[in-house]
Amino acid sequence: MEVPYIVEPRKDTGLFNAKIGIWLFLASEVMLFGGLFSAYVFLRIGADFPWPERTLPIVPGLINTFVLIASSVAVVMAWACLKLRKKQAFNLWMAFTIVCAGIFMGLKAIEYNAKFHHNAARLADFTIIEGHVEPGENILAFDVHGFNFSARRWHGPFFEDIVEQLSADDRNFELTFLAPDAAVKDSLEVEDVIVSGLELHANNPLATFGDGSLAISKLKFLTSDGFVDYDQVKGVEPGSLDPSKFDFKLTKKTLKALRRDLREARGVNNKVNAADLREQWKTAKAQNPNKQNFELAGDISVRSDKVAPFLRVTTGSINGFLVDKNGNYALPDNDLRARVAFKPFRPLFENNQLKDDTRVLGSLVENKSAMEFHVDGLDFRHLAMRAEEIRKDPMEVIEASWVLNEGDKYGYMRSIWEAHKNWLYGYTDDSGKEVEGHVAKLKAKGDVPTPRELYRVEKQDILKYFRGGYPVVAAVPKVDAPQLADTGGPAADKLPQPSDAELELTFLEKFGVVDNIPVLGSMIPDRHHHYPHLTVPREKVLHESTFTPAWNNYYALYFTLTGLHGLHVVGGALVLGYFWLCGGRMYRENPEWLANRVEVGGLFWHFVDLVWIFLFPILYLM
Amino acid sequence: MASSPEAIKKSIRIYFLIFGILCVFTVLTVAVATIPALDVGGHGFDIYDMWLGLAIATVKASLVGAIFMHLNSEKRLIYLFFGIAIVFAVALFALVGLAFIDPIFYENFF
C-alpha cells in the first residue's frame, strides 16, 4: 500500500505528514522541558540551603556545547546534501553527527562517573566536607540490637549483606510485628511464631482475642516458603502452638511474602473502613435531610468496635517489622544514608538509615567507623547561612566549628582556613611586606565578596595552600598550635608533605574536566591521597552522599535534566543512524523521501541542541 | 523554506555562518561568567549575570530555531503548534510566580 504524503505536501496543511507529526511532538517536548525548567526555578528560589552555583566543571560542558552545535550543522548539511543528491557527502555528514553524539555521551559519562565517586558530608554543625572516601578504608561497625526492614520497600544489597553475616542458626529470627492497633499488637504476642492475615469471625469482638476463646477462621504462618495456611485453626489457643514446626528463615522470599500480605491486608482494611463510613453517611443523611455535609462530618468516623472483627492484621505499620538480634555487624562504607537518633525519646534506640531504607537499630562503634576524607572542598556556606539566621557573626561561628578545632587532628584544616583568611583579609609576608586582601581590593572598587568567596575553600585553593607552593602558607605558623599537641597528632613540621611532582595536576584536572578518572584508574593512578586527610567520626555526620540526587535538590535536578537530555541524544542518534545506514532503499526509491525523513530527524536533533543551549548556562554557569 | 538546488547552495553558507556565530556566543557566555573583567553587575553570580546568560542563550536558541529548523519561513500551521507550546511553557513558569503571592508566607498569616 502506498503511504500518502511522504513526499508531496497535503493540500490542506501544505506540509508532508511526518513534518506535522514531528512538530506536534516537539511542541509536547517544549512543554516537558518547560515544566522541568520551571521546577528548577521553583526549587532554586525556595532552596533552604546555599545553592551550589557554578560548581560543575565548565570545560566538558563547553566542549559538549561545541560538539552539539557542530552536530546540528552536520545534520542540516546532510539534509542539504541529499537535496543536492550528493549521497557520499550525506554519508560523511551523518557519520560526523553520530560521532558527535558519541563524544557528547562519552564526556557525560566521565562527568557522571566523577560525581558518583566524589563524596560530601554535612556535619552536625552544617559544615560541609567534600572529598574522596576510599572504598575499603571505611567500614560501618555496628553494635546492633535489631534491624528494621520496611515491608513496603525492596531490600537490595544491604539486606543480603546483613543476612550474609549471620550464621545459619542466627537466621531464625523472632519477629515482632508492629501493628497499628495496640489491642491487635498485644494479641499478636504469640511466642516465636509468625502470624499474619488473621481473619476473625464477625460475631467475636476483638477484645477477647488472646483468651483462646476466639474462633479464628484462618491463620497463616510465615515459613521460609512464604505464608502457609494453618488448617485446624478453629478454637486454637495461639500460645499453645509449637514454634519448632515453623521453620522461618529470613530470606528475600519471606520478605516478599510479607510485603504482599501487607498490601492485601491494607486493601481489605481500606474496604472495610470505607464501607463503614459509607453506611454511616447514608444513615446520617437519611436522619438529617436538612443538614449540610460539613455539619454532619464531625460525628462521622470509623467505628473501631464495629469494624475490628473484619479487619486484617497488617504485618507492618509504617515502621515495617523488626528483627531482634544482638551482635556486631560490619557494613561496607558509604551504605549509611542518615543517622536518626531518637536519643531524647529512647536512649537505647538509635535508628540508622541505610541507603535502601533498611534501619539498623543500635549504635555505631564510632572509633571503628570513622570516615576518612581526602578533602578537596571545605564549605562553610550553609553554616554561615544558619549563623546569620540567628544573628551571629558567621566568621566567629566558623572559628568555633568542629572541623577547625577538635576534629582537626593533623591541623590541616586549620592551616587551610588560616591561609584562606589571609587571602581574604591580607597578611604580612616573610619580608615584612603587607599583602592586601581580597576583601579590601573589592572594597576599593565598591564591591563586596560573595558568600562563596568568604565561606568556601575551593579545591584548587586547598591544593595551593596544602602543597606549600603558595606564598600565603608562610603566614600559617600564626595558627594556634596547642590543638595539634592536644590531640596527639604529628607535630606540624612532621606532617607528611607530598612532593611537587606528586601534586602536579593532570591535564584533565587542570582544566576541571574531572577530579580523577576512576574508569581509567589503571592509566591515571588514584591521586586523592595527596589531598589533606580528615577523619570524621560517623556521629558527626548528619548526611553523607556522593554527588548524586541524594545530596541535594541541585544534583537531583542536574541528573534529571541532563539525564533526560542524554536520553534524547541517544534516541536522536539511533534515529539518525538508522537513516544513515538503512536509508538506501528510501534513497533509491525516491531521494526526496529520505531527504524528508532526515529533515524530520534533524528537527528533533536541533531541538536537542536547543535544550542544551539553555541547560549549559543554567546548570554550569549560574 | 529553500528547496531549489540553487537556494540550498546559498543557504549552506548561512549554515556555516550561523555555526560561527553560535560558537562565538558560546565563548561569550562562558567568558562573562568566568572572566572577572567581563562580569556584569557585582562580581560573582548575580541577577544581571542570570539575565545576560539567559539572553545569550535565547539568541542562540532563536538562531538554531530560525535557521537550522527553518522556522524563518515555515507554514502557518507549524507556527500555530509551536506558538501554543511556547504559551503553555511560559504559563508553567508563570505558575512559579504564584509562589511569590502565596499569603502563607506573610508574617501575620496565621
pLDDT in tens, A360-404: 777 777 666 778 788 889 999 999 999 999 999 999 999 999 999
- What local confidence, expressed as pLDDT, does residue A426 receive? 87
Residues 6+ apart with CB under 8 A from A421: none
Closest listed residue to residue A9, CA positions, set A603, A612, A596, A602: A596
Of the two residues A443 and A311, the one the predictor is more confident about is A443
What number of other Cβ atoms are within 10 A of residue A169's Cβ?
Answer: 6
pLDDT for B61 equals: 96
| Cell numbers for A540 | 558527626
Query: Residue A573 has what pLDDT?
Result: 97
Whether the predicted pLDDT of A313 surpasses 90: no
Cα dist from A98 to A263, A428, A564, A577, whole Å? 47, 57, 18, 7
* Closest approach of A83 to chain B, Cα-based (Å): 7
d(CA A85, CA A145): 76
CB contact under 8 A, B19 and A73: yes
Q: Which of A10, A15, A17, A30 has the most B C-beta neighbours within 10 Å, making it the best mutation to test the interface with B? A: A30
Which of A14-23, A244-253, A561-570 is predicted least confidently?
A244-253
Do the beta carbons of residue B2 and residue B10 sit within 8 Å? yes
Q: How confident is the model at residue A156, as a pLDDT?
A: 58
A69 neighbors B19 (Cβ within 8 angstroms): yes
Count of Cβ atoms closer than 10 Å to residue A176 Cβ: 14
Q: Which residues, in sequence order, are bridge partners of residue A351? A: A340, A361
Contacts of A166 (CB under 8 A, 6+ apart): A250, A325
CB atoms within 10 A of CB A188: 21
Between the alpha carbon of residue A600 and those of residues A5, A80, A426, the distances in Å are 14, 13, 60
Residue with C-alpha cell 553523607? A544
- Indicate the pLDDT class of residue A70, thresholds 50, 70 and 90: very high
- CA dihedral sign of residues A341, A346, A350, A355: negative
Strand partners, A176: A322
pLDDT at B110: 67
State whether B43 and A442 contact (CB < 8 Å).
Answer: yes
Of B15, B30, B61, the CB nearest to A614: B61
On the question of pLDDT at A405 being above 80, the answer is yes
Per the DSSP assignment, residues forming a β-bridge with A329 are A142
A177 vs A399 pLDDT, higher one: A399
Alpha carbons A554 and A43: distance in angstroms, whole number: 8
CA A581/CA A596 separation, integer angstroms: 16
Q: Of A192-206, A260-274, A416-430, A586-600, where does the model show the most confidence?
A: A586-600
Q: List pLDDT tens digits, range A134-151.
A: 665 666 777 777 666 665
Residues 31-70 of chain B with CB under 8 A from chain A are 33-34, 42-45, 49-50, 53-54, 56-57, 60-61, 64-65, 68-69
Q: How far A46 CA sits from the closest chain B CA (Å)? A: 9
Averaged pLDDT, A160-188? 43
Q: How confident is the model at residue A620 (pLDDT cuts 50, 70, 90)?
A: very high
Nearest to A370 by CA among A119, A116, A133, A118: A133
pLDDT at A168 over 60: no
Q: Which of A56-60, A350-354, B52-56 has the lowest mean pLDDT?
A: A350-354
Least confident residue range of A370-374, A523-527, B16-20, B101-105: A523-527
How close does chain B come to A35, measured CA to CA in Å?
6
How far is it, in rounded angstroms, from Cα B93 to Cα A459? Answer: 35
What gap in Å lies between CA A448 and CA A439, rounded to an integer? 7
Instruction: Find, among A551, A494, A184, the residue nearest to A355 by Cα.
Output: A551
Which of B1, B21, B62, B68 is the best residue to mutate to test the A interface, defined by the most A CB atoms within 10 Å of its own CB? B68
Name the residue among A382, A375, A407 with its Cα closest to residue A397.
A382
What are residue A146's phi and psi, to 5 degrees? 165, 165
Length of chain B: 110
A57 pLDDT exceeds 80? yes
Q: B6, B10, B22: best mutation site toward chain A, by most A Cβ within 10 Å?
A: B22
> In this predicted structure, what is the pLDDT of residue A259?
67
- Interchain contact A62–B (C-beta under 8 A): yes
Q: Is A622 on the interface with B (CB under 8 A)?
A: yes
In chain B, the residue whose alpha carbon lies closest to the alpha carbon of A28 is B85
pLDDT category of residue A114 using cuts at 50, 70 and 90: confident
CA distance A210 to A213: 8
Helix crossing, A87-116 with A591-615: angle to 10°?
30
B83 neighbors A19 (Cβ within 8 angstroms): no
Identify whether the C-beta of residue A401 lies closer than 8 Å to the C-beta of residue A158. Answer: no
Say what the pLDDT of residue A129 is. 95
Bridge partners of A141? A330
Tell me what pLDDT residue A609 has: 96
Residues A24 and A37: their CA atoms lie apart, in Å, by 20
* Phi and psi angles of residue A150, each rounded to the nearest 5 degrees, phi first: -80, 120
A439 touches chain B (CB under 8 A): no
For residues A240-259, give the mean pLDDT.
53
Nearest to A17 by CA among A603, A616, A596, A601: A596
Which region among A86-95, A274-283, A459-468, B72-81 has the lowest average model confidence (pLDDT)?
Answer: A459-468
- Cα distances (angstroms) measured from residue A346 to each of A336, A350, A362: 21, 8, 11
H or E element at residue A339: strand A336-341
Whether the CB of A21 is below 8 Å from some CB of chain B: the reply is no
Do A223 and A248 touch, CB atoms closer than 8 A? yes
Collect all residues with Cβ–Cβ distance below 8 Å to A167 and sequence separation of at least 6. none
Q: How confident is the model at residue A565 (pLDDT cuts 50, 70, 90)?
A: very high
Encoded amino acid at A182, one letter: A
Query: What is the Cα–Cα distance from A356 to A153, expressed in whole angstroms?
Result: 8
Question: CA of A22 to nearest chain B CA: how many angstroms apart?
Answer: 10
Q: Is B78 touching A (CB cutoff 8 A)?
A: yes
DSSP secondary structure string for all residues of A19-30: HHHHHHHHHHHH
B108 touches chain A (CB under 8 A): no
Backbone angles phi, psi at A516, to 5 degrees: -165, 170
The pLDDT of residue A113: 87
Q: What is the pLDDT of residue A245?
A: 44
State how far the Cα of A548 lies from the Cα of A555, in Å rounded to an integer: 6
What does the pLDDT average to over A23-41? 94
**Residue A228 pLDDT > 60:** no
CB of A372 within 8 A of CB of A535? Answer: yes
Contact (Cβ atoms closer than 8 angstroms) between residue A105 and residue A566 = yes
Shortest Cα–Cα distance, A68 to chain B (Å): 11
Min distance B11 CA to chain A CA atoms (Å): 9
Stretch A1-5: mean pLDDT: 78
Closest CA to A323 of A184, A543, A158: A158
Q: Which residue of A has its CA nearest to B79?
A: A23
Statement: residue A584 has pLDDT above 80: yes
**Exposed / middle / buried, residue B53 (Cβ in 10 Å: 0-12, 13-18, 19+):** buried
Helix boundaries (H) for B3-75: 5-34, 47-63
Q: According to DSSP H, which parts of A433-520 are helical? A: 438-444, 451-455, 459-467, 482-486, 500-503, 507-510
* Cβ density class A353-372: b for 16+ within 10 Å, e for less: bbebbbbbbbbbeeeebbbe
**Cell for A91?**
554519508
**Helix/strand/coil (H/E/C) assignment for every residue in A579-619:** HHHHCHHHHHHCHHHHHHHHHHHHHHHHHHHHHHHHHHHHH
pLDDT confidence of residue A152 = 55
As a dihedral over the C-alpha atoms of residue A541, residue A547, residue A552, residue A553, rounded to 10 degrees, the angle is: 180
**CB neighbours of residue A558 within 10 Å:** 26
Between CA A55 and CA A547 the distance in angstroms is 11
